[in-house]
Structure 1
């Protein structure tokens, strides 16, 4: 009988250990103290609302590539289609996935299809900013009260009087024509 109780005890310990390991893998920190490093994964091209608005039907492939960058996917079987896919997984920020399809008719753009609303550039930067502190930039202009509080600059010295004494004359650098 002692071996049966030993087997039950070992099974119980193994079950608790397995449960503990699974909970450690799914949590963001270890015992509430240590946060494991997670690799930031960025794939594809960031295409913002401003870039998509700059692309118009009738543009050439070169013009589209200049604005949006090289497509992530080009398919030999669908030569008239470019796929722009963007994914980002960053610790502390929501994962993002966007798909944009550029369809061509020969060498000219026929349409640009987006799977969802594209963010403006500022909105995109704000969505991936994971700093916990506020990083508001200071205003670049002074208020009227701040201008009044500035010290008065000293008056520039009076211009010197005409030089006293002989003046020097120099020969011309180039001969007269």
Structure 2
């Protein structure tokens, strides 16, 4: 059978488990928010070839494959069965934002670009803004004080006798930092 001290430990552990389970039904919103903030870190994943609006505008039908490659870079997907098609795929998963996926396809006839299809691409500045958006920006307080507010911070003028007495006090003498060594 169990020893008395072990039996008491098991009973105490069972009571703690019952209390913890009973407390689960009484969790309020602030506790849920706190527990939700303890979520594990999720790595931000940016994959693929980002194609900007400016790059898409630089493409013109009749361009050679090398010219398209100079503008867009090497395509992420080159299908063996569709040699006249280059697919540029871009995905981004960031914590706190919806996952994004964009696809852009360039079609060729022979060695000449025929047409393009795909999602609306963001400009480079929009993309940088998207990357910089890691946390919601809180309102910035007004950092300008009115004349009335500045007057409330004014230092009262000291009486002339007190200022003269403070100037007459000699500076304190400080001991040397190191003790003189014996010769």
Q: Same fold (TM over 0.5)?
A: yes
Relative distance call for 1:56 and 1:126 in structure 2 (3 A) is: same
TM-score (norm 1): 0.55
Distance in 2 (CA, whole Å) between partners of 1:49 and 1:33 is 36
1:94 aligns to 2:116 (yes or no)? no
State the match for 2:123 in structure 1.
120
* Residues 131-153 of structure 1, C-alpha deviations (whole Å, 9 max, x = no match): 4458xxxxxxxxxxxxxxxxxxx
Shift of 1:123: 1.1
State the match for 1:53 in structure 2.
57
Unaligned runs of 5+ in 1: 1-12, 21-27, 135-177
Q: 2:81 aligns with which of 57, 68, 77?
A: 77
3-state DSSP of counterpart to 1:31 = helix
Distance in 1 (CA, whole Å) between partners of 2:37 and 2:102 is 34
1:105 aligns to 2:109 (yes or no)? yes
1:1-177 equivalences under 5 Å are 31-114=35-118, 116-129=119-132, 130-133=134-137
Distance in 2 (CA, whole Å) between partners of 1:87 and 1:39 is 14
Shift of 1:64: 0.7
Equivalent pairs, count = 110
Shift of 1:68: 0.7
More helix by share: 2
Shift of 1:29: 7.2
Which contiguous aligned blocks of 4+ residues in structure 1 show a shift greater than 3 angstroms?
131-134
* Residues 110-132 of structure 1, C-alpha deviations (whole Å, 9 max, x = no match): 01111x22111111121222144
Relative distance call for 1:37 and 1:60 in structure 2 (3 A) is: same
